[in-house]
Amino acid sequence: MGHKKRRTFSAEFKFETVLEALRGEKTAAEICRARDINENLLSRWKQEFVSKGPGVFEKNGQRMSQEQDERVAELERLVGRQALELEILKKAGALLGSSWNGNGR
């Protein structure tokens, strides 16, 4: 017999399902029937959600900091490149300045 292909669920689907379960408006069995999942799977998602709950806020802050650090590094590279280009232009201007008076003549 052929094997069933394992289904994958998006993070958004899991999050919405867990929130629905935590609201308590429906039983776990009702939610699982409506979403065509096993109750053990819902239970596992809830456990994961609760265990990672505090980390949600920490990771968000760390991600923001990491994004800011990457942006700062990118801007520093750009400033370094511009400083190098300016130095080259100054040297080129000094070399051309002796034969070029700035009036285009």
Within a 10 A sphere around the Cβ of 17, how many other Cβ atoms?
21
Question: Is residue 60 very low, low, confident or very high in pLDDT (cuts 50, 70, 90)?
Answer: low
Q: Which residue has the higher pLDDT, 30 or 103?
A: 30
- For 68, the token pair is 């800011």
What size, in residues, is the chain? Answer: 105
- For 11, the token pair is 């993070």
Measured distance CA(50)–CA(32) in Å, rounded: 19
For residue 5, pLDDT beyond 80 = yes
Helix and strand numbers (H, E) in the chain are 3, 0
Q: How many CA atoms lie within 13 A of 18 on its CB side?
A: 19
The average confidence (pLDDT) of the chain is 83
Q: How confident is the model at residue 57, as a pLDDT?
A: 64
- Rg of the Cα atoms in the chain: 30
Q: What is the DSSP string of 73-95?
A: HHHHHHHHHHHHHHHHHHHHHHH
pLDDT tens per residue across span 7-57: 899 989 999 999 999 998 899 999 999 999 999 999 999 998 888 877 766
